Structure 1
Amino acid sequence: LYAGVGSLSNIGDQGMEAEEGRAAIWRLDLETEQAGIFASGLRNAVGMAWEPSTGTLWTVVNERDGLGDETPPDYLTSVREGGFYGWPYCYWGQTVDDRVPQDPALVARAITPDYALGGHTASLGLCWMPAGTLPGFPDGMVIGQHGSWNRSTLSGYRVIFVPFAGGKPSGPPRDILSGFLSDDEKTAYGRPVGVAIGADGKSLLVADDVGDIIWRVTAA
């Protein structure tokens, strides 16, 4: 069993002792009841999904605040066992956050994520969608973007699809569901979160925690 555990604060504001065991993905062996950190430095790893051709774990991560509208981006990334992804010392690889007391040895280990999703999109839900589930969509990942609150122009508020080839993202994102945000950005009609493939294998289910509804997306 794999579980994402978010950070307590934005950038270790209460010291790293308070963040012990956080900003990480944990792995629990249900037979032996042994648990440990699988990967760390992930500020808020929420949705997780397996890419079936390689058996690799992928996650979407919400990055830190306070550096502007687009810096750093939230991201989709493969997760390496024992990997360190930067938080709180650096972001998007080894870009140092000078607001944080540094640990150069950890910065030198920081892995650059695979795929940027834009700043503060609050990308939360994640699932693998095989080719043929929806017409015109190849293999890829579906992401529920809950939407920003702390940037000058709002972003997210949609469900996107990231195509994959050879076990990696292979192109720009495509909208599956959008139109949840009014033109003047004053009203959110919905905020997508969880995503899952329907039991029929021909539909996508989306949990919307503002509309208080589950959407079902199928062929026209």
Structure 2
Amino acid sequence: MRPLLAGLCLLMTLALPACSKAASPEQIAAGKAVFAANCALCHDASPAMGTFQGPPLFGVAGRKIGGVAGFDYSDALKAAHGRGETWGESNLDAFLADPQQAMPGTQMPVNVPDATDRRNLIAYLTSLNGKAAAATKAVAPVSGNGNFDWRKDAPGVLHQVTVADLPKPFATNSAGNSAQYVAPSANFLPKAPAGFTVSQFSNDLDGPRNMRTAPNGDLYIAESGRGRISVFRNQGGRVSAARETFAEGLDQPFGIAFLNGYVYIANVGSVVRIPIAGGKAETVVANLSTTGGHSTRDMAVSGDGQYIYVSVGSASNVAEGIGKAPKDFIAGHALGESWGSEAGRALVLRFRTDGSDRHVFATGIRNCVGLAFRPGTDDLYCTTNERDMLGDNLVPDYFTRVADGQFFGWPWYYLGDHEDPRQAGVRPDLKGKVSVPDTLFVSHSAPLGFTFYQAPAGAASAFPPQYDGAAFIALHGSWNRAARTGSKVVIARMKDGRPTGEYEDFLTGFILDDRHVSGRPVGVAVGPDGALYVSDDAGSRIWRVAAG
């Protein structure tokens, strides 16, 4: 029996034989550290019962499963709720060890494999009891700026967010506004510019995420939650509608790249490669950090084929609890590299294609979800989801070039020398060394996959020439904003091969109101026919946008 606080007896469907003895202060403190490293990104543990990406966990011990209003629980959690089950030691332990096995279909992406960590975490969660704080009155979101209003989104509308637009931290309360998916009507189509046709290409997928087009024109798609890579074959310059399974049994696959007859796949904790003709997976890079949040790992291959680049997001929102750097750490590591529970996180790594010669390429990038080279250049770009809980309009997400040795601020600074008040005074040595990204998006837009448009010669559905080289970016939309944003595909404007800072709406119409959406774009890829394919993980669809 795992220890609980003295005198606390929980009423559980999975009954305990007796109330456990009190957990020690040291055990609760250890559990709090596990929570900070694994859970704090998505869950509030305070009496304020804040609504983050996941439900608040204050008072979770003894609470009815699936019992927090406003969350789209999985069928398994809803069924447990209907049976009157409550959270206790046994089912918390099983859920934390393997969320998908305990509650199939859950959106919980993190597990805690170590039994001691789980025991300590449960002790900490059980200590979170008492009277919840009264909800604070919401502060109205910033108004009067067209960049911030999704109702003005439409194909062709231009946006530009600048550092001068930044409000002060906590100018608004931190909102909990996770998008609620509503299945669209049978005749629904997203909106594209005049001269383009939008159609549904496929709904034969399970939460499609990242997409990449192979050199032979086959379209590969990562179904991260399913642990599967699917492929739609190129058949004479068009994409076949028949889905094939390329690989399965993977661990939250996301990144896909092609090199020397192999498909490289980035799992949450490793990079593997599989012969493009099919076969056994071979581990190329092992031991990527897997604790905490941010499970997407994307990849890019250098133009000379000598290196692979791998993005690894942070484990937490803003490195809560890592404290000061260990002695001699700063001198022996890359500029802005983090330590403790954030070691090996919030950065871009470079390896030889066989996984050797690990090099920290860039740091301070909270969650670089999309990673790609601009074709014909050595310019590496990434899309980044910035930090939460500073208000509706902080911190802007971004799309930017990334160079060797650059530091982008996380967790101590953002967008230059703007110090995060939650890390005030920790790293004054980094002031003046923080890179400012190229293109800023409305905060909490959640840019994910992107592609630079290049149509194959003679493609039947090729876009007009003015789109050649354009960066198409999927904005997924996030939870930490009172007014909805994202849920669209945009174009980052370029001039002389560099981003101008402006971005233009291309595919819109998914947002229904400030709470509800009919789609959430994730990946974008150009097919052998020249059409743009857009994955939607909320609706488990692939959309096709063609010229004409």
The TM-score, its normalising length taken from structure 1, stands at 0.92
Cα displacement string for residues 87-144 of structure 1 (whole angstroms, at most 9, x for unaligned residues): 0010011111121152122233111111101100011111111489423535321111
**8 Å contact from structure 2 (residues 451, 472) kept in 1:** yes
The aligned residue for residue 219 of structure 1 is 547
Higher relative contact order (CA 8 A, sep 6+): 2
- Could you tell me how far 1:150 is from its partner in structure 2? 1.4
- Could you tell me how far 1:171 is from its partner in structure 2? 6.1
The aligned residue for residue 207 of structure 1 is 535
Q: Greater Rg, structure 1 or structure 2?
A: 2
Q: Where does the alignment leave 5 or more consecutive residues of structure 2 unmatched?
A: 1-307, 323-338, 456-460
The aligned residue for residue 437 of structure 2 is 113
Cα distance change on mapping 1:91 and 1:33 into 2, 3 Å: same
Cα displacement string for residues 154-191 of structure 1 (whole angstroms, at most 9, x for unaligned residues): 10000111121212113632222111110x33321110
Secondary structure of the 2:311 match is: strand
- Could you tell me how far 1:53 is from its partner in structure 2? 4.9
Correspondence 1:133-172 to 2 at 5 A = 133-135=462-464, 136-170=466-500, 172=502
Structure 1 segments, 4+ long, off by >4 Å, are: none
Q: Over the residues paired in the alignment, what is the CA RMSD in angstroms?
A: 1.8
1:198 aligns with 2:527: yes
Cα distance change on mapping 1:186 and 1:169 into 2, 3 Å: same
Correspondence 1:41-190 to 2 at 5 A = 41-101=364-424, 102-130=426-454, 133-135=462-464, 136-170=466-500, 172-182=502-512, 184-190=513-519
Q: Which stretch shifts more, 146-155 or 131-140?
A: 131-140
Counterpart Cα distance in 1 of 2:409 and 2:540? 35
The aligned residue for residue 24 of structure 1 is 347
Q: Which amino acid aligns with 2:506?
A: I
**8 Å contact from structure 2 (residues 454, 526) kept in 1:** no
Counterpart Cα distance in 2 of 1:83 and 1:170? 20
Cα distance change on mapping 1:199 and 1:107 into 2, 3 Å: farther
When the two structures are aligned, how many residues end up with a matched partner? 218
- Could you tell me how far 1:52 is from its partner in structure 2? 2.9
Secondary structure of the 1:173 match is: strand
Match among 354, 357, 360 for residue 34 of structure 1: 357
Counterpart Cα distance in 2 of 1:73 and 1:161? 17
Matched-pair identity in %: 41
Secondary structure of the 1:105 match is: helix
The aligned residue for residue 317 of structure 2 is 10
Looking at secondary structure, tell me which structure has more helix per residue. 2
Looking at secondary structure, tell me which structure has more strand per residue. 1
The TM-score, its normalising length taken from structure 2, stands at 0.38
